[in-house]
């Protein structure tokens, strides 16, 4: 009897359905959407942690990855008016936009040991693909070896359509300008009814998926996200994960999946309570079990806080994102506990080792960096 099968016997009131799912996970067999919903609705948190940890260990051993990175958010001026957003000028008391020179200045002043810059923000109504291409070219002129992870699918959708070219042509152009990978933002929730309710002006689910698929086919890897803990049901969550899993089957281009917790400060959905820590850990665990073809599961610590990110390493997470360098406001404006998100390398290493994981510094492709 496998260790997983033996340990499941320690849980009380385990249904036959859960035993069957645990057996599948033990045998490295894919679970179905219906079984994913069962995990959300019936499985004890301890059992979810056991199964998710089994998957994590198979894929990455005892390693927990981190990267030295920083964020640049060019503007909060946005054509969209998403109800959950606390960042855009619609809800923030200030409207601002960095000039290209200010953006490049931040790059030039960055620590030489930092290996990745993450550039994403609002969808500015007046900017086209040539403007964003210029940013990429200038970043590379200042820091040729800096990995540029830039522009969410919703930003890409607008700038490409505004320029009158196809998605493929737009991505090819940006790749020539210096785009190395794409962040996972803008996915929110794929269910069309809920999406229309909470972010109806934003790119459709179909468009988000098409942009990422096209990027993968062009050799541009990306991440994927899901905004959870608002109006969605467990069925909607699994539907979202299923669409990502199917795309990953076709392309293999996703590096990691990042559950993003809805925070309810300073936005139109402030009447919706934030979900519990238990629900957070369920989300991580089910995602790790369900997305069997994703190599990594990331806890974005500026969103959930350092303590919960640390706990998440017992629920399938193997990536702590990065040092961030106090350079993102998207979650701090929404009420996250880290109002000045920055972590030193030593703090990151301590966070990981305290969770009894092996800290591994990585590059943007999850290649291990030598210390």
- Tens-place pLDDT, residues 167-222: 999 999 999 999 999 999 999 999 999 999 998 889 999 999 999 999 999 999 99
Tokens of 104: 């490049």
Query: What average pLDDT does the chain have?
Result: 89
Q: Are 330 and 87 in contact (CB under 8 A)?
A: yes
Q: What confidence tens digit (pLDDT) does each residue in 253-272 have? A: 999 999 999 987 777 888 88
| Residue 298, pLDDT above cutoff 50 | yes
The confidence score (pLDDT) of residue 93 equals: 62
**Angstrom distance (rounded) from CA 286 to CA 257:** 12
Q: Are 49 and 285 in contact (CB under 8 A)?
A: yes
Report CA torsion sign: 68, 73, 79, 84: positive
Place of tokens 């210096």: 178
Query: Which letter, b or e, does each residue of 75-88 get, where b requires 16 or more Cβ atoms within 10 Å of its Cβ?
Result: bbbbebebbbbbbb
Q: Are 104 and 142 in contact (CB under 8 A)?
A: yes
The CATH number, out of the four listed (3.30.365.10, 3.20.20.70, 3.60.10.10, 1.20.1530.20), of the domain defined by the range 64-276+300-309+316-361? 3.20.20.70
pTM for this structure?
Answer: 0.91
Show me where the domains of the chain are located: 3-58, 64-276+300-309+316-361
């Amino acid at each position: 009897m496998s260790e997983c099968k033996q340990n499941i016997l320690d849980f009380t009131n385990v249904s036959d359905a859960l035993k069957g799912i645990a057996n599948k996970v033990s045998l490295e067999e894919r679970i179905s959407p219906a079984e994913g919903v069962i995990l959300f609705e019936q499985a004890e948190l301890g059992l979810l942690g056991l199964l998710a940890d089994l998957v994590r260990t198979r894929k990455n051993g005892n390693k927990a990855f981190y990267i030295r990175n920083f964020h640049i958010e060019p503007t909060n001026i946005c054509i969209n008016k998403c109800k959950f957003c606390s960042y855009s000028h619609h809800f923030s008391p200030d409207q601002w936009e960095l000039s290209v020179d200010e953006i490049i200045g931040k790059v030039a002043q960055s620590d030489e040991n930092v290996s990745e810059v993450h550039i994403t923000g609002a969808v500015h109504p007046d900017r086209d693909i040539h403007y964003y291409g210029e940013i990429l070219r200038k970043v590379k002129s200042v820091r040729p070896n800096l990995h540029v992870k830039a522009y969410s699918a919703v930003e890409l959708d607008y700038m490409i359509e505004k320029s009158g070219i196809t998605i493929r042509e737009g991505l090819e152009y940006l790749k020539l300008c210096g785009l190395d990978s794409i962040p996972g933002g803008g996915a929110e929730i794929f269910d069309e009814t809920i999406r229309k309710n909470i972010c109806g002006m934003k790119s459709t689910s179909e468009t988000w998926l098409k942009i990422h698929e096209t990027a993968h086919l062009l050799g541009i890897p990306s991440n994927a996200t899901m905004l959870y803990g608002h109006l969605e049901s467990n069925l909607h969550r699994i539907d979202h994960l299923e669409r990502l899993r199917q795309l990953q089957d076709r392309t293999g281009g996703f590096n990691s999946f990042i559950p993003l917790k809805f925070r309810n400060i300073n936005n139109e959905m402030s009447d919706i309570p934030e979900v519990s820590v238990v629900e957070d850990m369920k989300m991580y665990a089910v995602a790790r079990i369900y997305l069997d073809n994703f190599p990594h599961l990331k806890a974005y610590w500026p969103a959930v806080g350092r303590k919960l990110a640390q706990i998440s390493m017992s629920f399938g997470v193997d990536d702590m994102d990065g040092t961030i360098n106090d350079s993102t406001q998207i979650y701090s404006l929404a009420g996250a506990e880290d109002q000045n998100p920055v972590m030193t390398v030593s703090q990151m290493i301590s966070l990981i080792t305290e969770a009894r994981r092996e800290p591994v510094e990585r590059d943007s492709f999850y290649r291990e960096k030598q210390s």
